[in-house]
Chain A
């Protein structure tokens, strides 16, 4: 997030898209509801009628995968009606003419045809967003999990910059992170192209810096493989060994059957986890790890706040903290390591990571965490980014054209399947399905079907249905609900009994590598 969680309490307008916030980030969703009840406006762009729809000033139910067109349409109106922030555009951005020329084609009428949103609503949304004083764009995986995910994100940024809704409290572009330490994993360089703090692996100066810090020679200076490419490389036979820590790609990755082939094609698979997950069951070696309650360390939340968590209980049996296991593997591989505690590691992170330099154990113990960038021990941390200038200087508009879903419905596969989570379950269910109350509330996989479609297909509430894509078939229970629009069905990836990722399309964004979980073609029929 460019901005902070507490700023949700005093923003004037939220532009919310691709996030079912009350279910997935409940304490951010609640802040939006409270703000709306105090008079803030809410523009919700989401095909589903989620809880926030009940609070929306405007609910734009776009055809799935048309987000770029929606936002280009809004920008077209803002430019056409001269509602944009001229001063901000002139002083702080570049590329406005290119943006103008791209979005000029997206008149409300054209956008209505692509997105299914009424032209008048596009105009209304444009005026509301542009005229608000403090407007926050809020998004999550509904935006990013498309083959056009990067374009979607760029377009969000274009919209914020065009109206000067960035660099002040209560504004900005605010992706909500789905896991408690996704932000931290990225910050710590668990990415194929960067070391900690987004220092690029291809930069020779950075390479030298880490060679010195780590006392090694010849660090790899080429970009590594993303998770999606790793699976492809394994399938081709180029990748021989995979070491997985605390992930369950067999359930979470698209097109499960291909993932299974890829993993079984490896010479060696090691999985380090707290449970014997679906993925761990395929491993050659499984290492038992400690859970969050059984170790200490820091986590970075969606607003870049680094917070400390302490050890409350001992790990079960012989399980060990992940850092202890990794250290032992490194030692045995001939690399000396002698960290006595997570704090020793944090000190090294402080030394090699400019944005984390001031985030010391001492400070996170005393204060309620610190938000990076925090370049030194006297720095108070940063509540919102891009205050007077963007990291790179001027903000560049990166206009994008609309591109359709990788797999659009046809005569046979005539529905779009979009996937996500429900409130009571979490990700692949490894943790939440072992919590009795949560499991009671959401015990099985359900597919949401619109009432008109259900009537036509002879499906009644709670009927078992068969859902198939070109990649697989699952059977699960139907819930007949207005929450989904016509010709769209929604389901979740929590349940191993009906793995929705057997169906999803592995086609992915060329830049980020994110697969298109949010839309693939399926057919549905009532089980005999």
Chain B
């Protein structure tokens, strides 16, 4: 194992020597016969981050990440790349702010360019009631040291003249911004964590689907996979989107439904927006990628599905949301659209917890907010897997919280997953 350190000097040197010195970013591994201390099921952003922090923070390096496809081929490669920590409730906000702080140092920590861009995120406000609600949220953010900025309509208009300030249904009255929010190059997050974990000794095993769990006397001893049995001291499932299917193999039912969320990108345009703008009332959020495409998304389709594709009515709904606040988007042509499967939980909040089976742990239920949580999710899941106790910012993410009446319902819509 030789770790190539990335730097401007290295790029310069390779440019002069025909790029012959680059090595594979991570080591592709096969399962070890004598098993692992920890097996993580799912090689997405959260799974790879978990492996990285297990090795880095807890010195547990005899770890495998098993992935049914290729790493980063699921939701970490399918989201709209937004990071923010503008939550309201005490169970959530410290966790997401912890994640934001990890994002801020991620590239230095991993020595990997993930294009973390704190370009700011701006939530639009359309009514007095919404203004009150957002000011309350802003206070919640200030309590958690997340920072926020209230922007009056005049300034919103000055900064973003393309917004339709006088839309008859949703006139823009003000905005709540989080200047530290922004976007991150999503694939690079998976690759950066994979590289970091691999360099610390973690085995990343691709094309290895988990087909079952070896459970004896209420204790998980390992996993069965398409590459044979893998013994494990501890198993951490981390497959949001497929949680229902994977946990069913262990006989566990979850407070989760699987739904599809679609995302879109237009053809490349010249720079028009330097931040992330969200239109919560119509559920539309948009940013401009470094290649120039407007990346945007909206609501989930609203019916249970495991298909990574949605239907046309939601395409129309999302695009009309875009037209309502930034009519200029109508001049751009859609280049691509895609879908990802979301674990929609019963209160819109995630789970990082042990299960009723010993040595089997669960991380999931991220709804459509999992990307921004990637570093903290990995950090806290690693803490749980290493110490068997929850990290202090993730104590609320228990699987039994509905039984105890302790739900974390940001939106306040109750046990109706397609409305979160």
Q: Do A and B come from one complex?
A: no
A→B interface (CB under 8 Å) = none
